[in-house]
Amino acid sequence: MSQRMTRDHQSRPRRSLRLTLATAIIAATVGSMMVGTSAVSATENLGSAAPAVSTASPCEALESLNLNETVAISADLVTSGQAEGQSGLPEFCRVKLTVSEAINIEVWLPTSTYNGRLQAVGGWGYAGNILYFSMADALKQGYATTATDGGHVGIPYRGTFALNPDGTLNHQLIEDYASRSLVEMTLKAKDVIAAFYGKAEEYSYWNGCSNGGRQGMVLAQRLPDAYDGMMIGAPAMMYARLFTASLWPFVVEQNELGGPMSACKLKAFNDAAIAHCDAYDGVVDGVIGDPKLCDFDPATLVGKDFGCGEITAAEAVAVRKIWNGPVAPDGERLWNGIAPGTPLEVYAVEPSVLLSDFVAYWIKQDPTFDWHTLDYAEYAQVFREAVAKFADVDGSDDPDLRPFQEAGGKIVMWAGQADSPIAGQTEGFYDRVVDVFHSRTKVQEFARLFMAPGVDHCGGGTGPNIFDPFGAVVNWVEKGIAPESLLASSIVGGQVVRTQPLCPYPQVAKYNGRGDINDATSYNCRANYGSSSAPGKRN
């Protein structure tokens, strides 16, 4: 693999994918029509303007690109500052592509504000649309940016596209959603960038959370030399397992109680767990620093009334099973559970159709299937069937990241500790990566995971939830500075009221016993708490 030098430190493998011959020819043609673009490169500070690009005709010329399997392409220069409900946009060339069968891709190319970098952005749920606000954010920072709808148009929380009218699975749309749309988006965006600017991007990045995190891991595994850096947030990897596991609390309530528990009682269990385990990190702040240390027993609430009736033994059993996670009747653990401290009130209502659609359309292949009929035995059967059908199709959980590491890529991954099954799944995946490399130190040379106490899915929650993992991966790639921690803030009324470090997993933030508990400088990253308040835990 050819080499190139970073600006201030050692050489690294060149990671731009090879252009197709047809694209290279068009690139030369379009490049000859542009002014002052031969020296366009990434500037030292993100967002600084690069040399201006003439826009007399190169944008429209992109419609002549001959890209493999592309059935439609359009290119329009946007000068109004507005597009798809987004405003304040710099002038850019908007390229729309449709790849067979129906993968819609957009590439937005800034003209005079280009910083020499690509930022591809991910989607959420079942995709079905393009997150224009994410593209707009990237564009405003000077990035060329790209995104895809995943190969179908629809509502992101509906999975109905997987089933044909005759009751068979639409394997093409499923594959497009799972991986093919992401590969095509990456390859096409790089071709378009090279054609428009006359050269490949200097750096390329992935930025995604939830399904966008899953998408990033798919690309790290299938196109390991495509991206220099990847921000992987709350990755919904292994969706066959994750979607089915996320239905588990509702199945438990249905089987143990005949229906959902009240939000009041669920909150009582969660509040009691926080009260019991809060101090294990050395400070009482309403957040469990490391839920794995929490040893609260829900049975201690039986007979107590929190203003919504006495807690019953059956309700305590249900909460314990929810925290413990899916287990088959034969004792096989199917997946990780939900960490204590994760808000349980969401299980006081019916599950999202994102979950029920997966069982009805993807597994049972019957839109009329009622998940309420699942007992523990059939649930286990559904779980195993989901894995058998889709684990290989998804392909986002292969822990062998050696090709990505060998290509010089960097990953900053994060997840909230209060993010249902995703928290445990993310830690488990990272542990398996360490197993492949036989060295945590070696993995941390290219991939670091940060767990955010009290933070929910992709943000929110009770813990400090404002931080910049994407900036951290850019710093790592371009300056060689690996993130030792991420500074997280809580903001209320526009004011920062608390800061705390997020530590590289498996380290956790421990209060040092002095100073303001709302100040990050009062915490240190440690291997574990070493607190006598957590009985049975190693020091």
Beta bridge partners of 113: none
Q: Is the pLDDT of residue 13 over 70?
A: no
Q: Which residue has the higher pLDDT, 181 or 47?
A: 181
Number of H helices, E strands in the chain: 16, 15
Q: Is the pLDDT of residue 53 over 50?
A: no
- Is there a single domain that holds both residue 68 and residue 89? yes
- Is there a single domain that holds both residue 31 and residue 129? yes
CATH number at residue 148: 3.40.50.1820
Point out the catalytic residue in the list 228, 357, 419, 456. Answer: 419
| 524 assigned to some structural domain | no
Q: Is the pLDDT of residue 93 over 80?
A: yes
117-121 and 203-209 strand pairing: parallel
- Is there a single domain that holds both residue 148 and residue 160? yes
The 10s digit of each residue's pLDDT in 381-421 is: 999 999 999 988 987 889 999 999 999 999 999 999 999 88
- Is there a single domain that holds both residue 251 and residue 235? no
**Mean pLDDT across 429-434:** 97
| 520 assigned to some structural domain | no
In percent, the amount of the chain with pLDDT more than 70 equals 87
Yes or no: say if 215 and 122 are a contact pair by the CB < 8 Å rule. yes
The number of distinct structural domains making up the chain is 2
Yes or no: say if 357 and 365 are a contact pair by the CB < 8 Å rule. no
- Is there a single domain that holds both residue 339 and residue 311? yes
| 215 assigned to some structural domain | yes
- Is there a single domain that holds both residue 220 and residue 307? no
**Mean pLDDT across 80-93:** 98
| Predicted pLDDT at 57 | 52
| 465 assigned to some structural domain | yes
- Is there a single domain that holds both residue 403 and residue 381? no
Question: What is 154-188 written as a DSSP string?
Answer: S-TT--GGGB-TTS-B-HHHHHIIIIIHHHHHHHH
Point out the catalytic residue in the list 457, 485, 490, 522. Answer: 457
11-13 and 3-5 strand pairing: antiparallel
Q: Is the pLDDT of residue 189 over 80?
A: yes
| Predicted pLDDT at 118 | 98
- Is there a single domain that holds both residue 190 and residue 51? yes
Q: Is the pLDDT of residue 108 over 90?
A: yes
| Predicted pLDDT at 282 | 87
Instruction: For residue 298, give its domain range.
Output: 243-390
Q: Which amino acid is at 419?
A: D
| 386 assigned to some structural domain | yes
- Is there a single domain that holds both residue 263 and residue 376? yes
Q: Is the pLDDT of residue 358 over 70?
A: yes
Choosing from 355, 390, 425, the residue where a domain stops is 390
Does residue 210 have an active-site annotation? yes
Two structure tokens written together for 108: 């937005």
Point out the catalytic residue in the list 210, 356, 420, 522. Answer: 210
- Is there a single domain that holds both residue 219 and residue 255? no
- Is there a single domain that holds both residue 325 and residue 286? yes
| 427 assigned to some structural domain | yes
Q: How confident is the model at residue 4 (pLDDT cuts 50, 70, 90)?
A: very low
Distance CA 308, CA 304 (A): 10
Report if pTM > 0.85.
yes
Two structure tokens written together for 228: 């220099």
Average predicted confidence (pLDDT) for the chain: 88
- Is there a single domain that holds both residue 156 and residue 290? no
Give the three-class secondary structure for 452: strand
| Predicted pLDDT at 349 | 95
In percent, the amount of the chain with pLDDT more than 90 equals 82
| 537 assigned to some structural domain | no
| 504 assigned to some structural domain | no
Q: Is the pLDDT of residue 283 over 50?
A: yes
Q: How confident is the model at residue 509 (pLDDT cuts 50, 70, 90)?
A: very high
Distance CA 106, CA 146 (A): 5
**CA 386 centroid distance within chain:** 21
Choosing from 483, 514, 530, the residue where a domain stops is 483
Other beta carbons less than 10 A from residue 93's beta carbon: 23
Does residue 176 have an active-site annotation? no
Q: Phi and psi dihedrals of 517, rounded to 5?
A: -70, -10
Choosing from 362, 390, 418, the residue where a domain stops is 390
Q: Which residues contact 50 (CB under 8 A, 6 or more apart)?
A: 40, 41, 43, 112, 113, 114, 115, 116, 142
Distance CA 243, CA 326 (A): 12
| Predicted pLDDT at 238 | 87
| Predicted pLDDT at 235 | 96
